[in-house]
């Protein structure tokens, strides 16, 4: 196996489509940016699809082309890790609506020769999954050994098992939910309004002048980032400690360390993410309701599934708390689908699935090996 084949190939494909979207529009062509690691077995039985979270991308285990930082899940994916290119053919694609190469508001509309902007059709989690299925068809992958995702990636993993029940042997769903709550939607609406209130947004037509709504997107990221953390984690890391000063300024600079941290998160985010994509992807997660797609009964989503399921939650995650995972497990039990579930301890809140979690790695490694 060559080093490139083993450690990752950054690729792009334009598929003719059309892809019929849940909203009724037809998307054609369909551009998909993706990475692969490892080699597909002769029988095609070792393919694993990794689905990224809201602000993630296809760079799951390779350096990000803009920031230069390591891939977002190098703790889980790599040689000797639970998802290992020596054993698995690993695929990760940028979702449609994203901004690192797949069809989205920043890509060119072939009908106009200009970026789609807000004329790009609204998409759903299921639309993202259908586009991924088109990519797998292109790669010659008929059936997945596993689909794995955390947060919005977990929603995709659930949707995969419901939409393509014959193509998934196992699904690993981490820190996720089967639908967005009113609180989830509310936080996203705050972020969207921050973007759209920025005068540089210009109704989504900001690409040609090179002056995006950075301030609005930074505020949206700051608000969302709070939901990824836990109160205990924030207190331990920052408390009420001041930032590079010995006394309060009695002004509106970043007096507190936590303020400086959030501002840094917001500023660094705008360097790698498109504001319009943020609108589209948050809307897709808000629309997600797997039970609604199956007659109002979540168990119905899994009745045709042939997959084994593994669900993992974290005790300090208040964005997608353990109760959301338990609801999915109950629906799986009602549908007669084999499911295992564990709640792990972590001080890091929702972000725990992206951080060092030996317990999560052990669970995933054992689950994958049990089905090999």
Q: Break the chain into its structural domains and give their ranges.
A: 3-180+289-370, 184-282
Helices (H), 8-150: 125-139
Residue 3 has pLDDT above 50, yes or no: no
pLDDT band (50, 70, 90) for residue 17: confident
Residue 209 has pLDDT above 90, yes or no: no
Q: 32 forms bridges with which residues in the sheet?
A: 13
Evaluate whether 269 touches 258 at the Cβ level (below 8 Å).
no
Evaluate whether 238 touches 257 at the Cβ level (below 8 Å).
yes
pLDDT in tens, 213-222: 999 999 999 9
What is the distance between the alpha carbons of residues 196 and 190, in angstroms, rounded to a whole number? 10
pLDDT band (50, 70, 90) for residue 163: very high
What average pLDDT does this structure show over 13-24? 95
- Report the SS3 class of residue 84: coil
The number of angstroms, rounded, from the C-alpha of 45 to the middle of its chain's C-alpha atoms is 24
Q: Please state, for a pLDDT cut of 70, what percent of the chain lies above it.
A: 97
Mean pLDDT of the chain: 94
CATH class given for the domain over 3-180+289-370? alpha beta
Q: Is 305 left (phi over 0), alpha (psi -120 to 50) or beta?
A: beta
Q: How far is CA 357 from CA 91, 233, 326, 350, in A?
A: 22, 15, 20, 12
pLDDT band (50, 70, 90) for residue 251: confident
Q: Tell me the Cα Rg of the chain.
A: 20
- Report the SS3 class of residue 150: strand
pLDDT band (50, 70, 90) for residue 9: low
Q: Which residues are catalytic?
A: 151, 317, 350
C-beta neighbour count of 363 within 10 angstroms: 21
Q: Is 113 left (phi over 0), alpha (psi -120 to 50) or beta?
A: left
Provide the pLDDT for residue 286.
98
pLDDT in tens, 232-245: 999 989 999 999 88
Provide the pLDDT for residue 2.
35
What does residue 133 show for φ and ψ, rounded to 5 degrees? -65, -35
Provide the pLDDT for residue 1.
28
Number of residues that this document lists for the chain:
372
CATH class given for the domain over 184-282? mainly alpha
pLDDT in tens, 82-125: 999 999 999 999 999 999 999 999 999 999 999 999 999 999 99
What is the distance between the alpha carbons of residues 351 and 226, in angstroms, rounded to a whole number? 10
Provide the pLDDT for residue 10.
64
Residue 362 token pair: 């052990």
What is the distance between the alpha carbons of residues 304 and 300, in angstroms, rounded to a whole number? 8
pLDDT in tens, 308-344: 999 999 999 999 999 999 999 999 999 999 999 999 9
Evaluate whether 57 touches 98 at the Cβ level (below 8 Å).
yes
92, containing H or E segment: strand 89-93
Residue 27 has pLDDT above 70, yes or no: yes
What average pLDDT does this structure show over 149-177? 98
Buried-state track 220-240, b at ≥16 Cβ within 10 A, e below 16: bbbbbbbbbbbeebbeeebee
Evaluate whether 30 touches 96 at the Cβ level (below 8 Å).
yes
């Amino acid at each position: 196996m060559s080093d490139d084949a083993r450690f990752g190939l950054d690729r792009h494909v334009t598929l003719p489509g059309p892809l019929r979207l849940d909203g009724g529009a037809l998307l054609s062509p369909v551009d998909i940016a993706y990475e692969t690691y490892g080699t597909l077995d002769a029988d095609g039985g070792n393919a694993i699809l990794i689905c990224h979270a809201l602000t993630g991308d296809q760079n799951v285990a390779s350096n990000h082309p803009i920031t230069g930082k390591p891939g977002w899940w190098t703790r889980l994916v790599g040689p000797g890790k639970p998802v290992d290119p020596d054993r698995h053919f690993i695929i990760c694609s940028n979702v449609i609506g994203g901004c690192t190469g797949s069809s989205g508001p920043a890509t060119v509309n072939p009908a106009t020769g200009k970026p789609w902007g807000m004329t790009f059709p609204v998409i759903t989690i299921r639309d993202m999954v259908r586009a991924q299925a088109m990519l797998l068809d292109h790669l010659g992958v008929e059936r997945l050994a596993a689909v794995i995702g955390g947060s919005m990636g977990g929603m995709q993993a659930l949707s995969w098992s419901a939409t393509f029940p014959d193509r998934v042997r196992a699904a690993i769903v981490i820190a996720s939910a089967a639908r967005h709550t009113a609180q989830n939607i509310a936080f996203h609406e705050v972020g969207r309004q921050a973007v759209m209130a920025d005068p540089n947004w210009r109704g989504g037509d900001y690409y040609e002048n090179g002056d995006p709504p950075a301030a609005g997107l930074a505020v949206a990221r700051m608000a969302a980032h709070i939901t990824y953390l836990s109160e205990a984690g924030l207190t331990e890391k920052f408390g009420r400690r001041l930032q590079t000063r010995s006394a309060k300024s009695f002004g509106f600079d970043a007096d507190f360390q936590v303020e400086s941290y959030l501002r840094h998160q917001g500023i660094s985010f705008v360097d790698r993410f498109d504001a319009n994509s943020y609108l589209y992807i948050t809307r897709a997660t808000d629309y997600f309701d797997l039970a609604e797609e199956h007659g109002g009964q979540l168990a119905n989503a899994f009745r045709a599934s042939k997959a084994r399921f593994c669900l993992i939650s974290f005790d300090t995650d208040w964005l997608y708390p353990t109760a959301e995972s338990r609801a999915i497990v109950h629906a799986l039990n009602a549908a007669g689908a084999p499911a295992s579930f564990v709640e792990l301890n972590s001080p890091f809140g929702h972000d725990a699935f992206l951080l060092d979690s030996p317990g999560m790695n052990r669970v995933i490694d054992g689950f994958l090996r049990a089905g090999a």
